[in-house]
Each structure stands twice: as structure tokens, then as C-alpha cells.
């Protein structure tokens, strides 16, 4: 007999979007990294002197080159995985478990670092405009993470659509700023930099430093995969519109990146401890006016939206991985607000912890960022190639053969970013990721193995042990003699032939006092009272000691416990009652494997 | 029939102490405030110029005068309340509830502020010696609070005795430093300051500023009451030894205070943002050597011990107040480590929150400190006077009449500190306390009123409603068909005539698949399976919807639920299992008042 879900079913409105709305929703993750990508490139070159800043020009073009390949590959991924191309799903489907959990671990790190880096960069932008905030940066970081967490826990979904103007405002401001900055900045125009300068004009910069700068700059391309994860939200034909959106994203990201780099070189903008590169460029282009302040807010906003995508992404990923038993089942289900609560808590908690650990310093977070992202990029692209070849061999070609070399080059380039990140930033923080990913994979393997072992233990293929289900006795903790207790005793009499009413008194005098009260009352029928006093133990210890004694004296017999609980519509009541009963429940069930029946006693609404 | 507690009773060793050991254990709270008292006095005078520092001399003498009266009064309190003279107990006993909860609220604030101020001052001392720590001050504060919390949760009690050398080391170092600093400091000796300088030589200082300085300095006398709280730990005759200890404490505290003030004036020591007064004096007296570094560690140690006394004091106070129903019952009981867990958590949490809120800045915490402490002092002294007069009238004089005028003056002086704190520090932070204390008192009254209302509702004087204790049906959530489920179904059959085995599937295909598996299995006897699929709701919603439907279709009938729970000796198992079941338990019992039987299924130890 099947019963349908009743009146509580919720209709999830499917709002299918077109290209521009889709871009507004999915671009923030990628575009917001303009706020720190170019800046981190420059910072890595600083030790070689101010003029070393020029190197961001060639490095930037290599990154644009990489961007081109990434966009190309992801267009193919969109085409081939119309239900969403997250690297975990496609990695596992194509190569099996090991690559799957490698991709999953990389993605988890990606999501966490996105939150930490985005929020930190956003606060840096605000501090550039409001320097008095600089002492409270870490506090602001943590508060913003908590705020985003809370919004997500409430299941506030429609905010994404409300915020689409922010995306386009940010794009417009950055492009405007870069253009004006190149053509007619506030400051006088410096001499046009030579494209091939004399060797003596440029400081010599070691390969390692160039690699560090390059890998820092590569953090600006994170988020380029967001469109491929969300193909189903587009109107039909969704693949076509999604590909178009991906291309547009690439174009905007690329032009903003180039614009910022050229403007930075033009104005010799150098980020400082309390002034981000973007804010610096804004100041030198438009002065310390409205644009300057507005930019800091818009930057914070778009970074917050970028961070928010992690809060939808990671819990969904954790749920997927739980279905495959790689992660604990606590991540599996959505709750009544249609959110994956535990995933949201873990993400917010770890991100906040990292921010606290590194004192809100984005320079120390960036080294850990690129590895997870680019590993995930690589797995996605290689999976696509394998899938294309497999489909072709099976006679159902889905991807044109000629695009595969490009995807292959793309995956080589992204793997190069991973390797150069590890090499050049190892001491800077990459070692943490190099240790973390295998550790996470080992954890996932252990979890799955445990789940499978337990499934086997519990399987009906094993001989079925049915312990006696009838209890010989039921214990009722008797606090005072009131309606709660009387009801508990009645219920106990239904459950088992023998009822033990146990009262635990603070001392012997109180013990005898209660025994007298009990004897005089007629509400408990012929039941005897057991009492004990606390002496030097805690109440919990005395109770458990009594139970252990009973079990020793009655081997092979089963004891149940009834726990009366006061319930109320008033949420504050939880502080006033039941704390001890909760601990007792925990101890009895988990500590001593005793069957516990929780008996709720609803309190009427008080006339306060 | 009375049953004694069994083998788990714990013998609390009563180690009775003499004067010197008692002083070592009880003095840190008071003596440690030398680390910030004189310093805060000077800081409050800074705006009037460097020479205004001289005023700490007359203000200091007024404080010594106050100290004298306090020691005198507390000797009387020790005499009259040999079981411990906490101002809550004696205030409530003498004047009734209102004064009682006023004292209780003041004490709670006192305890919390002691932790916040002590830890902050201790980290300041360390930063003075190790300036590179200055960026991590707040983190260090929070970590130390957490460390003290954890130590207390473990029930580590004997540490107090281990640490008695710290107390004497601190006393010796301060006195030595003050003496040498006055006689033969590192620096050349400045001209002897005139006791009555020409009016033109001293900057004019407003009364408000003097009051602020005075009330800041009064924070150095906090902790003087600690001996009276702990009279029972002394050897017999405990009152005599306790009084002797109190006097010694006053002598040490007074001489250290005077010494520090004189040395500070002699050496024109000015505390700065990263150098405390004591460290400054140490540096100018002995140079930047071993003494300087050692002092910072000893100061941190004694402040930590001082903070630790709050962690024993507040949970005990909260427990006492819970017995009188002023505070929730969660503070009532000790747990198996013999500690009041909830009290420790709340204290650590609030203190850490304050430190975070005020960015580890001790100057912003001090204004809130004195009010609670001195209000508590006042109530204790006035209670003593009333008790003495009452006992005398009853014909059992306990206190000599002639001491009462001195106690009265003492209570006037402490009340003056309260009032001048409120007036001079109102904007500085005292307003928080002025609001907090009435708020806490209102909270306590509300809590007691609620407990009494519920006691009345539950009392057997009311007609006793016994709802039917037999369930008509028992619902068993069936996840998969395994040993856990089979055992749950057996138990269910014992509990009620009708058993509902409910399976919630992710979609209709899975629903039918499971129905087929069920039909083929023979382990469940003639039981029918109910299934439903999740559709757009969460699993929890579907389950609750099914139950609500059943209740609507079966009015007046009672449904129970069996929740099978996997238990294991492996603590990690908790992450892997039972999360959903815990939420379900919460929803069923507290959300829907449904009787839930939790059935533990112990897993054998895995052969991992």
C-alpha cells in the first residue's frame, strides 16, 4: 500500500533562465576573483623591486591563453554532461573511485578556500575605503561568514536573482575604470612601457618567483566551471544557452583581467597592506570620490555572492558523496528548509577557522587555493576526453574528434598549474594541501569501508539474533511526586510486570523525607519506592550504579527505562527543563545499551 | 527499602590547610590585580599630562585606607559565617530574595569580569616581554580561556596546590622590585617628589578624572573576599586561621600596592600600549634581563590562577542559585568528574565573547569590573551588620558591638566606589552593567516564577489526567531490511497490536523496488509494509506528514514510534550513524508529543 506525501509537499518552482540572467547568477564566483588575482601576481613580484611589476604583462597573457583553453574545454563539458558536469560525478563515472574521491577532495578544498579567500578579499576592499576598520578585519571576516551561513540555513534562495544587478555593476565599473585609467587617469600618463625592454631596464626575476606570481594569478580563473555545474537551470536547449553563457563569462573575465593588468602597469599601482589593487586603481583613475567608495561595496558584494555559491555547492557535493558512502550520512538529507544543514555548518566552520588561523591575511590563503581548483579542472577535462573516446568506440559519438586535442592541451596546462603551485608555493602553504588531499581521501575510503562492514554485519545473510524483546522490569526515575511521575508509573505498568520507582536524594535525611511522602500518597497504587542518596557521587553516577547493580543481580534479564519529558510550545522551556534527562538518555542508550522510552508530557500554555 | 550507592562512590579527600598554604591557594585572585590596578590608575590620569601621575599617591593612600576597612569587615564575616560567606548566601538569608539575587547577579558579573580582565592582563604581560605576539593578543586570550575551561572540565583540582610557589614567587618579585626600584634603580634617581607640591607644579585635574582613576585603582582590591568563601578548607579552628590569612592577604596586597605606586612615581614609569606598568618598572629597576622575562611569566601564571578561581566559584554559585530556582536546573548537578559542566561552559563562553567584543583591550573591560565586585562587598558587609544586630536582639551575640561602626564605614566606602564607578565611568562601559544587573535579576525572577507555575500545574493537588497508556499502533521506520529492522519489528509487536512498518523512498521506482524485496523476505512475518516517496519534501517532512495523517484518520488513538539506534564502543561511530535518528527523536518528542522508544543495537567491535 503506497501513501502519497500529504499536504506538506513543497513545490520547488523551476525558474529557467536565459543567458543574461544565467550569467548574472553564475558569474560572481569567477568574476569576483578579479579582486585578488592580479593583486596577488604583483605581490609575488614585489621582492624583486617595483619595476618587476612589468612581468604581470607576459604572465597575464599566458593566463588569458589558459583561460581560452578552459572556456573551450568547459563548453565541451557542458555539451557532454547536460545534467551537470561536476568533476566528482564525471571523474567517478569515467575513471572510478580513486579519481572520484580525488576530485571530491579537491572540490571540497576549492569550496572552502573560495569562502575564506572571497570573504577576506571583500573585507580588504572595505578596509581600503574605511581604514579605521583595519583592527577588526578578522572579526569582520568571521561575522560575514556567519551571516552567509545563517542566510543559507534559512533556505534563502531567491536572493541570487535579486542580486544580478551587482554582477553587471561590477563588470561595468571594472571595465570603465580600466578604460579610463588607460586613456585618461587622474595621474599624469607615464611613458608607454616597452613590450621588449632592454635587459638592463628590467630587474632579473627568478623562475621560481615567476611561477609563484603565475600560480597566484591563476586563482583569478577559479569559478569558470560554475556554468557547467548548473546546466539544468537554463531554458531549453539548455546546453546551447549554457555554452553561450560560458563564452560570455570568458570574454568578460578576460577583458577585465587584461584591463586591470594594463591599468595597474600604467598607473604603477602597488597594493599595500591596507589598500587593495582595485581600490588603488580606482583612486588613481577617479580620485578618492564616490566611485572609490562604491567600488569597495560592490566588490564586497560580489565576493560575498561568490562565497555564497560554495554554500550551495559543497552541501550538494557532500550529499552526493554520502550516497556513495564516501562521507557520513549526516550530509545526506535536506531538512525542512530544503537545505543540507550539516554541510553548511561544516563549510562555514572550517572556513572561519582558516580565516582565524591565518589572521585574515589573504596572502597566506592564496597558496592553498589554486591546487584544489586546478586539480578539479584537470580531472574534468581528462574525463571528457576519455568519455568522448569511449562513446566513439561504442558507436555513439558525442564530441567531435577535432576538439579533443584542445581539451588535452587545456588539461596539460591546468596540471601544470597544479605542479607549479606545489613546487613554487610549497613552503608558503601548498604543503598543507599536499597533505590534506590524501588525508581526506584516506578518510573517505575508511568511511566507506566502515559502512560496508556494518552493512555486512547487519545483513540478513548472517544468522539473525533476536534478543528477548520483553523487558523483565521498567525503571522510572522519580524526582518528586507529581502528575508527570504518576503518568510515567502508569505507562511503566503497561510495559513490564515489574516496575522500579527510583528516587535519588541529595542526602539521607531527604531520602527518608521522600519515602514518607510516598507512603502517604495513594496515587501510585501498590508500587514500592526504591531510594538511594547521592553521597559523594553525582546523581548520574548513582543512577547508573543502581542499574548496573540490578543487571548484575538479574543476569539475562532485560531492564527498560522510562524517561518523562516536559514539552512545551515555549522554546525557552528547553533551558529550564530536560537537560538532565537528555544526558541520561545519552548515557543509557549509548553508554549502556538500555532501551529507553521517552514519555512527553505537554505543558499547557502559561498565563504569564 | 534503601540501596546504597555502589562501587562508583568517590571519596573526596578533604585536605585541610594551614595559613600559609591557604594564602597560597586563595591569594592569587587578589594579588594578581596588582598587575592592572595601579596601571589603570595612571592611564586614567594620562590625558592631564605626565605630571598628573603624581595623583596616584594620594589616591593610593585612600585605597589602602579602603583596603584596611575591607580586611577588617571580612575578618568579621569570616567569624560570623564559618560555612562560607558568599554575599549571595548571606544576602538572601539576611534580607531576602531581592537583595539575594542582586548579590547573585553582582557576583556573576564579578566572576565573568575576573576571567576576562585577568586573562587580558596576563597576555599583556607576555606581550610586554615578547612584542612579536602583539598581533595575536585576542587569539591568545581566547585560547587561554579555553585552556582553563578544559582543565576545569577535566576536574583537575589538585593543580591549585601544585601552584602555591607561584603566589609566593610573585609576592617576592614585586616586593623586591619595588624596594630596589625605590632605593637603587637602574636609572638615576629622580628628585624626591614633594608631598605638598606648589599648586603651579601639578597640573589641575578635574574631580571626574580623579574619580575615574580611583575607581580603576579599586579594581586592585577585588578578590579580597576569597578567604571568606573558603573558610571550611582551613584546619580547626578554621575561623581563626582564616582570619589570620585574611590579615596576611591584606598586608601583602597593601604593601605590594604601595610599593608599586612609589616605584612607578620614582621611575616616572608610564604604561604604553605594549608595555605594562609592572614590566616597565621591572625593566627600569633590573634592566631588560632575566627578571624582566621571568616576571612576565609569573604574572601570567598568577593571573591565570586568579581566573581559575572564577571557574570554581561561578559554577558553585550557579548551582546554589538553581536550588533556589533562580537559575535553570541545568546548573544544578555535578557530572561524573565532579564539576558543574554547564556553569563552566557559560562562564568561559561569556568571558571569551567579552574579550572578542572589546578586542582584548583591558582598558575597556576595567570600567565594568568594579561595580559588581563592590556591590557584592557592600551587601556582604551590610548583611553582617544586620545579622549582628538580629543575633544580639535574640540574645545570642556573635559579633562584638564595637566593630560594627567600622563595618558600617566600610560598607559606605564600598558603596561610594559603586556610585563613583557608575558616575565617572558611565560612558566608558559602566552603563552596560547598570543595564545588565536589573536584566539578570528580572531573568532570575522570571525563571523562578516559571518553575513555580509548572510545579503547580504538575502538582497532585490538581485533578490527575491519565491519558491512555496503551498505544493502538507502533510505527517502525524501515530503512533497509536488515538485522536492525527485524529486531525493531519484533520489539514493536510486543508493544502494540498494530505495527506500521514505514519505508520512505527517494522516488517511486525505489519505492516499488523495496516493496518487492519486502514481499520476498520471510523475516517479518505477516507484517505489511507502508511506503511513501519523498517527492519534493525532505525525508523528515514525509515521515511527519504520514504520522499526522494517521493521527487525523485515527482520532483519540495513540501512536508510538520505535527508533532503532546503532551503538558502538567506537566514538567515531557517532558521526557515521544516528544523526537522522537524533533529529527524528527531537521532532517526534518535542515537536509532536509522541512516545518514542529508542532501541539500541550494539555493533560488535570491528576487525579493522
Cis peptide before B237 (omega within 30 of 0): yes
Of B450, B458, B567, the CB nearest to A589: B567
Q: Where are the beta strands (DSSP E) in A391-493?
A: 473-477
Residue B81 has a pLDDT of 85
Could you tell me the CA-to-CA distances from B331 to A390, B92, B149, B157 in Å, in that order? 65, 19, 16, 19
Q: Do B541 and A359 touch (CB under 8 A)?
A: no
Q: pLDDT-derived band of residue A234, with 50, 70 and 90 as boundaries?
A: confident
Per residue in A323-345, pLDDT (tens digit) is 899 999 888 877 666 668 888 99
Which residues 575-594 in chain B show a CB within 8 A of chain A?
575-577, 579-580, 583, 585, 589-590, 593-594
Cβ partners under 8 Å of residue B267, min gap 6 = B181, B185, B187, B190, B280, B281, B284, B285
Instruction: Answer whether A390 touches B (CB < 8 Å).
Output: no
**B426-441 CB burial, b ≥16 within 10 A, e <16:** eebbbeebeebbeebb
Task: Tell which phi-psi region holds residue A268, choosing left (phi > 0), alpha (psi between -120 and 50) or beta.
Answer: left
CA B304 to chain centre: 14
Determine the residue among B7, B338, B481, B537 to mutate to test chain A binding: the one whose Cβ has the most chain A Cβ atoms within 10 Å: B537
Q: Do A459 and B483 touch (CB under 8 A)?
A: yes
Instruction: Spell out the long-range contacts of B388-391 with Cβ–Cβ below 8 A and sequence spacing 24 or more.
Output: B388/B80, B390/B94
Lowest mean pLDDT among B37-41, B284-288, B472-476: B284-288
Q: What is the ipTM score, two decimals? A: 0.76
The position carrying cell 550551495 is A312
Instruction: Answer whether A532 touches B (CB < 8 Å).
Output: yes
The percentage of chain A sitting over the pLDDT mark of 90, rounded to a whole number, equals 34
The position carrying cell 574631580 is B207
Which residues 459-478 in chain A show a CB within 8 A of chain B?
459-460, 462, 464-467, 469-470
Which of A292, A330, A384 lies closest to A69, judged by CA? A384
Instruction: Specify whether the CB–CB gap between A456 and A449 falls below 8 A.
Output: no
Q: Do B541 and A490 touch (CB under 8 A)?
A: no
pLDDT for residue A527 is more than 50: yes
Instruction: Answer whether A1 touches B (CB < 8 Å).
Output: yes
Chain B hits for A468, Cβ within 8 Å: none
Chain A hits for B3, Cβ within 8 Å: 530-532, 546, 549
Of A336, A484, A541, the CB nearest to B538: A336
Of B5, B534, B576, the CB nearest to A328: B576
3-state secondary structure of A530: strand
Q: Do A483 and B462 touch (CB under 8 A)?
A: yes
Helices (H) and strands (E) in chain A, counts: 25, 5
Instruction: Answer whether B490 touches A (CB < 8 Å).
Output: yes
Q: Rounded CA gap, B223 and B204, in Å?
A: 33
Q: Do A595 and B594 touch (CB under 8 A)?
A: no
Q: pLDDT-derived band of residue A596, with 50, 70 and 90 as boundaries?
A: very high
pLDDT for residue B522 is more than 90: no
As given in the structure block, the three cell numbers for residue B417 are 566606589
For the segment A459-486, the average pLDDT, to the nearest whole number, is 81
Cis peptide before A340 (omega within 30 of 0): no
Q: Rounded CA gap, B335 and B315, in Å?
A: 12
A563 φ, ψ to 5°? -115, 110
Rounded to a whole number of angstroms, the distance between the first and last alpha carbons of chain B is: 47
Per residue in B385-436, pLDDT (tens digit) is 998 888 888 887 777 788 888 899 999 999 999 998 998 888 888 899 999 9
The position carrying cell 574521491 is A101
Beta-carbon count within 10 A of A59 CB: 23
Chain A hits for B463, Cβ within 8 Å: none
Residue B162 has a pLDDT of 61
Question: Would you call B316 exposed, middle or buried from its count of C-beta atoms within 10 A (0-12, 13-18, 19+)?
Answer: middle
Q: Which helix (H) or strand (E) holds B602?
A: strand B595-602
**C-alpha count within 13 angstroms, C-beta hemisphere, residue B297:** 6
DSSP B234: B
Chain B hits for A542, Cβ within 8 Å: 5, 8
B391 φ, ψ to 5°? -60, -40
Instruction: Answer whether B552 touches A (CB < 8 Å).
Output: no
Which residues 311-330 in chain B show a CB within 8 A of chain A?
328-330
- The 3-class SS string of B33-96 reads HHHCHHHHHHHHHHHHCHHHHHHHHHHHHHHHHHHHHHHHHHHHHHHHCCCCCCHHHHHHHHHC
pLDDT for residue B10 is more than 50: no
Cβ partners under 8 Å of residue B420, min gap 6 = B211, B214, B215
Question: Would you call A521 exposed, middle or buried from its count of C-beta atoms within 10 A (0-12, 13-18, 19+)?
Answer: exposed
Instruction: Answer whether B146 touches A (CB < 8 Å).
Output: no
Instruction: Answer whether A537 touches B (CB < 8 Å).
Output: yes
| Helix ranges (DSSP H) in B394-482 | 404-425, 431-458
The percentage of chain A sitting over the pLDDT mark of 70, rounded to a whole number, equals 89
Of A532, A566, A590, the CB nearest to B2: A532
Lowest mean pLDDT among A45-54, B298-307, B345-354: A45-54
Cα dihedral angle (A230, A231, A233, A239), rounded to 10 degrees? 160
Q: Rounded CA gap, A12 and A35, in Å?
A: 34
More confident position, A92 or A154 = A92
Instruction: Specify whether the CB–CB gap between B294 and B130 falls below 8 A.
Output: no
Q: pLDDT-derived band of residue B1, with 50, 70 and 90 as boundaries?
A: very low
Q: Rounded CA gap, A146 and A138, in Å?
A: 12
Question: Would you call A395 exposed, middle or buried from its count of C-beta atoms within 10 A (0-12, 13-18, 19+)?
Answer: exposed
Instruction: Answer whether B195 touches A (CB < 8 Å).
Output: no
Q: Do B333 and A538 touch (CB under 8 A)?
A: yes
Q: Rounded CA gap, A450 and A326, in Å?
A: 10
Chain B hits for A356, Cβ within 8 Å: 139
Residue B337 has a pLDDT of 64
**Which residues does residue B334 pair with via DSSP β-bridges, in sequence order?**
none
Q: Which helix (H) or strand (E) holds A601?
A: strand A595-602
Of B139, B532, B595, the CB nearest to A4: B532
Instruction: Specify whether the CB–CB gap between A352 and A142 falls below 8 A.
Output: yes
**DSSP for B303-321, written as a single string:** HHHHHHHHHHHHHHHHHHH
Chain A hits for B450, Cβ within 8 Å: 576, 606, 608
Q: Do A538 and B454 touch (CB under 8 A)?
A: no
The nearest alpha carbon in chain A to B493 belongs to A469
pLDDT for residue A608 is more than 60: no
Per residue in A110-140, pLDDT (tens digit) is 999 999 999 999 999 999 999 888 878 888 9
Domains and CATH numbers, chain B: 10-452 (1.20.1740.10), 473-602 (3.40.50.620)
The nearest alpha carbon in chain B to A340 belongs to B538
* Range among A84-88, A181-185, A491-495, A523-527 rated most confident: A491-495
Determine the residue among B458, B491, B542 to mutate to test chain A binding: the one whose Cβ has the most chain A Cβ atoms within 10 Å: B458
Lowest mean pLDDT among A432-441, B48-57, B69-78, B119-128: B48-57
For the segment A306-335, the average pLDDT, to the nearest whole number, is 86
Instruction: Answer whether A599 touches B (CB < 8 Å).
Output: yes
Distance from CA of B538 to the nearest CA of A (A): 6
B275 φ, ψ to 5°? -140, 115
Q: Rounded CA gap, B231 and B242, in Å?
A: 6
Per residue in B285-331, pLDDT (tens digit) is 888 889 999 999 999 999 999 998 888 888 888 888 988 999 998 88
pLDDT for residue B338 is more than 90: no
The nearest alpha carbon in chain B to A579 belongs to B330
Instruction: Answer whether A143 touches B (CB < 8 Å).
Output: no
Q: Rounded CA gap, B166 and B163, in Å?
A: 6
Q: Do A602 and B596 touch (CB under 8 A)?
A: no
Chain B hits for A597, Cβ within 8 Å: 595-598
Chain A hits for B343, Cβ within 8 Å: none
Amino acid at each position: 500500500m503506497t501513501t502519497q506525501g500529504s499536504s506538506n509537499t513543497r513545490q520547488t518552482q523551476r525558474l529557467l533562465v536565459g543567458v543574461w540572467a544565467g550569467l548574472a547568477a553564475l558569474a560572481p564566483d569567477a568574476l569576483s576573483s578579479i579582486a585578488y588575482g592580479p593583486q596577488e601576481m604583483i605581490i609575488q613580484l614585489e621582492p624583486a623591486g617595483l619595476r618587476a611589476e612589468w612581468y604581470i604583462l607576459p604572465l597575464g597573457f599566458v593566463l588569458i591563453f589558459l583561460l581560452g583553453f578552459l572556456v573551450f574545454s568547459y563548453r565541451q563539458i557542458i555539451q557532454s554532461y547536460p545534467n551537470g558536469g561536476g568533476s566528482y560525478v564525471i571523474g567517478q563515472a569515467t575513471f572510478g573511485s580513486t579519481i572520484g574521491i580525488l576530485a571530491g577532495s579537491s572540490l571540497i578544498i576549492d569550496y572552502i578556500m573560495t569562502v575564506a579567500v572571497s570573504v577576506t578579499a571583500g573585507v580588504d576592499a572595505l578596509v581600503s575605503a574605511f581604514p579605521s576598520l583595519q583592527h577588526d578585519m578578522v572579526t569582520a571576516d568571521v561575522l560575514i561568514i556567519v551571516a552567509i551561513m545563517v542566510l543559507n540555513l534559512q533556505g534563502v534562495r531567491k536572493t541570487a536573482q535579486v542580486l544580478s544587478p551587482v554582477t553587471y555593476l561590477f563588470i561595468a565599473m571594472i571595465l570603465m575604470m580600466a578604460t579610463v585609467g588607460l586613456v585618461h587617469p587622474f595621474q599624469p600618463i607615464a611613458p608607454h612601457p616597452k613590450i621588449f625592454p632592454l635587459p638592463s631596464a628590467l630587474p632579473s626575476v627568478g623562475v621560481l618567483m615567476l611561477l609563484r606570481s603565475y600560480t597566484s594569478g591563476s586563482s583569478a580563473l577559479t569559478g569558470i566551471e560554475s556554468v557547467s555545474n548548473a546546466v539544468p537551470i537554463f531554458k531549453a536547449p539548455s546546453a546551447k544557452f549554457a555554452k553561450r553563457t560560458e563564452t560570455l563569462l570568458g570574454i568578460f573575465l578576460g577583458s577585465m583581467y587584461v584591463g586591470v593588468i594594463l591599468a595597474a602597469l600604467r598607473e604603477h599601482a602597488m597594493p599595500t597592506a591596507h589598500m587593495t589593487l582595485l581600490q588603488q586603481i580606482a583612486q588613481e583613475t577617479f580620485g578618492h570620490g564616490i566611485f572609490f567608495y562604491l567600488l569597495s561595496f560592490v566588490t564586497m558584494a560580489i565576493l560575498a555572492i561568490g562565497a555564497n555559491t560554495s554554500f550551495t555547492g559543497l552541501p550538494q557535493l557532500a550529499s552526493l558523496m554520502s550516497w556513495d558512502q564516501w562521507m557520513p550520512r549526516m550530509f545526506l538529507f535536506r531538512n525542512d528548509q530544503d537545505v543540507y544543514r550539516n554541510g553548511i555548518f561544516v563549510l562555514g566552520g572550517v572556513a572561519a577557522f582558516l580565516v582565524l588561523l591565518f589572521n585574515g591575511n589573504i596572502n597566506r590563503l592564496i597558496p592553498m587555493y589554486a591546487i584544489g581548483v586546478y586539480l578539479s579542472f584537470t580531472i574534468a577535462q581528462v574525463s571528457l576526453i576519455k568519455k568522448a573516446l569511449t562513446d566513439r568506440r561504442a558507436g555513439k559519438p558525442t564530441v567531435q574528434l577535432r576538439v579533443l586535442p584542445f581539451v588535452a592541451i587545456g588539461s596539460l596546462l591546468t596540471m601544470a598549474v597544479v605542479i607549479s603551485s606545489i613546487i613554487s608555493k610549497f613552503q608558503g602553504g601548498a604543503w598543507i594541501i599536499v597533505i590534506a588531499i590524501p588525508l581526506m581521501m584516506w578518510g573517505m575510503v575508511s568511511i566507506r569501508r566502515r559502512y560496508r562492514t556494518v552493512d555486512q554485519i547487519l545483513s540478513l545473510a548472517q544468522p539473525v539474533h533476536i534478543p528477548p524483546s520483553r523487558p523483565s522490569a521498567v525503571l522510572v526515575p522519580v524526582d518528586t511526586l507529581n502528575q508527570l511521575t504518576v503518568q510515567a508509573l502508569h505507562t511503566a505498568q503497561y510495559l513490564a510486570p515489574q516496575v522500579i520507582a527510583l528516587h535519588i536524594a541529595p542526602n539521607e535525611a531527604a531520602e527518608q523525607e521522600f519515602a514518607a511522602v510516598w507512603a502517604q500518597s495513594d496515587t501510585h497504587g501498590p508500587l514500592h519506592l526504591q531510594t538511594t542518596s547521592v553521597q559523594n557521587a553525582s546523581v548520574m553516577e548513582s543512577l547508573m550504579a543502581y542499574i548496573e547493580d540490578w543487571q548484575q543481580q538479574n543476569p539475562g534479564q532485560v531492564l527498560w527505562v522510562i524517561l518523562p519529558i516536559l514539552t512545551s510550545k515555549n522554546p525557552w522551556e528547553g533551558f529550564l527543563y530536560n537537560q538532565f534527562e537528555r544526558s541520561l538518555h545519552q548515557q543509557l542508550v549509548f553508554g549502556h545499551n538500555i532501551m529507553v522510552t521517552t514519555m512527553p508530557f505537554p505543558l499547557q500554555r502559561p498565563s504569564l
